[in-house]
Structure 1
Amino acid sequence: MLDSLSLLWLVAMTTSLVSKAQILTPQDYEEEDAESVTTPSAAVLCDYDRCRHLQVSCVELQKVGPVACMCPGLSREDQQPDPPRLGEVHIVAEEGRATVHWCAPFSPVNHYWLLLRESNGAPQKTGPFNATVRRAELNGLKTGGTYVLCVVATNDAGESHVPGADGEGPENWAGSSFGPCGKLIVPPRPATLVHAAVGVGTALALLSCAALVWHFCLRERWGCPRRQSRAQASEGL
């Protein structure tokens, strides 16, 4: 009798535990695994353009951005910066000035310089410009002059290399079209061309008048050969 009661009590307890237990289906296991696994967020590049004027450093963009972004790789700070790339140069011959644009190197930069050299003269240094600047203006250019222009980047380790600047002539500075240097040719002012054309036209007109005057003077002095031959023929008759 006691064994029967014990068996009934054990069956009742087992049924109660089974009814309260939560049965996990295969779908429940999949949902649990999906919640436990987190997908990594896609890498976002910083809105950094090394040719943009007044462009702040990419490190500053990482600090202010809502999401951590990625910057382009740079050389070490204890190394001299790579040469910048000279971009478009807009010349205003009437005012003797030019607007110079360049792109930053993939190196830490503190300042930029511009080197301007005419013929065999000494190079003139303009600047410095801070690291955000990508555009500067040159003044005092001579009309019809030819220059070699270079952009130099500097940091605590030194200055970027200028091709051909060590003891070579300015014609060797220009180098590659994607390098830091380029040739700058300032055309003559339009007013100068007009004055030159007027001068050439006036000189040609004066020469033509002088030739005509000289021709008529010779005719008056020596007479016309045809008239002399006709007069001699009439006298013979």
Structure 2
Amino acid sequence: MLGSLSLLWLAAMTTSLVSQSQILTLEDYQEGEEDDVTVATPSLAVRCDYDRCRHLQVSCQELQKVGPVACLCPGLSREDQQPEPPRLGEVQIMAEEGYAVVHWCAPFSPVSHYWLLLWESNGAPQKSTPLNATVRRAELKGLKPGVAYVLCVVAANDAGESNVPGAEVEGPENWTGPSFGPCRKFIMPPKPVTLVYAAVGVGTALALLSCAALVWHFCLRERWGCPRRQGMAQASEAL
């Protein structure tokens, strides 16, 4: 009898515990695993704010050092190779002031400095002072009106300097290099003030010639008379 009561008491306690407990299903188990596991999403790399045609542009390697996150740089050639030629942009001519402004883009090569080569007539090229690797703009002063020039931009590093197409040609008149590259030919136009003076001079000369022609015509007419009028007068007298 005592054993039966004990069994009944154990059965009642087991039923009470089972009713109070929470039954875990397979879905609950999977949700628990998802809560415990944290998925790390890798951050996407962005390009560095580097423009190879921007004036005073620092190197892309410097941008990688100072940036808050790692950025990507364009591919460059090796440092033990001579740099590729830069690309010379449009030459802006200031005829009235007598100078020109040039822009260029850096090559995809390590560059330590630049310099400019300027040919005038048949003489040797004039070489500028070295320009910093961040420079992309320069002014050419002292240009002569009506003169043809050939301008080239050269990039240099420890391995050498970039090639200059048509460097063996003497004078801008014989230069036939490509228009898209490190060199360009341009002609400095006359100053606008010079054109005004020339126009005034030509107009004055034409006015003087016209006056001289009229004076000469009337002087001859007064001196020798008009043959046509004399003939008409004689014909009227005969009638």
TM-score by length of 1: 0.84
**SS of residue in 2 equivalent to 1:25:** helix
Q: Which residue, out of 203, 206, 209, partners 1:207?
A: 209
Q: C-alpha distance in 1, partners of 2:232/2:182?
A: 81
- 2:125 counterpart of 1:119: no
Whether 1:176 and 2:176 are equivalent positions in the alignment is no
Q: Which runs of 5+ in 1 are unaligned?
A: 2-7
| Equivalent of 2:30 in 20, 26, 33 | 26
Question: Is contact 1:163-1:173 (8 Å) kept?
Answer: no
Deviations 1:141-198 (A, max 9, x none): 0012211111110001111011111346534354133x11112221111110010001
- Structure 1's 167 and 146: CA in aligned 2 closer, same or farther, altered over 3 A? closer
Aligned equivalent of 1:74: 76
Q: RMSD of the TM alignment (CA)? A: 2.7
Aligned to 2:6: none
Which amino acid in 1 is paired with 2:29? T
Q: Pick the aligned partner of 1:145 from 147, 159, 164.
A: 147
Contact 1:53–1:132 under 8 Å retained in 2:
yes
Distance 1:81 1:168 in 2: 25
Q: Determine the C-alpha separation between the residues in 1 that align with 2:175 and 2:233.
A: 76
% same residue: 76
Q: Once superposed, which parts of structure 1, at least 4 consecutive aligned residues long, lie more than 4 Å away?
A: none
How far apart, in 2, do the equivalents of 1:216 and 1:180 lie? Answer: 65
8 Å CA contact retained: 2:123, 2:170: no
CA distance in 1, matches of 2:164, 2:134: 21
- Write the letter of the residue equivalent to 1:96: G
Aligned residues: 223
Q: For 1:197, which of 199, 204, 213 is the aligned residue?
A: 199
Q: Does the CA contact (< 8 Å) of 1:148 and 1:173 recur in 2?
A: no
2:122/2:170 contact within 8 Å kept: no
TM-score by length of 2: 0.84
- Distance in 2 between residues matched to 1:94 and 1:174, nearest whole Å: 28
Q: Which amino acid aligns with 1:194?
A: V
What is the aligned counterpart of 1:56 among 32, 40, 58?
58
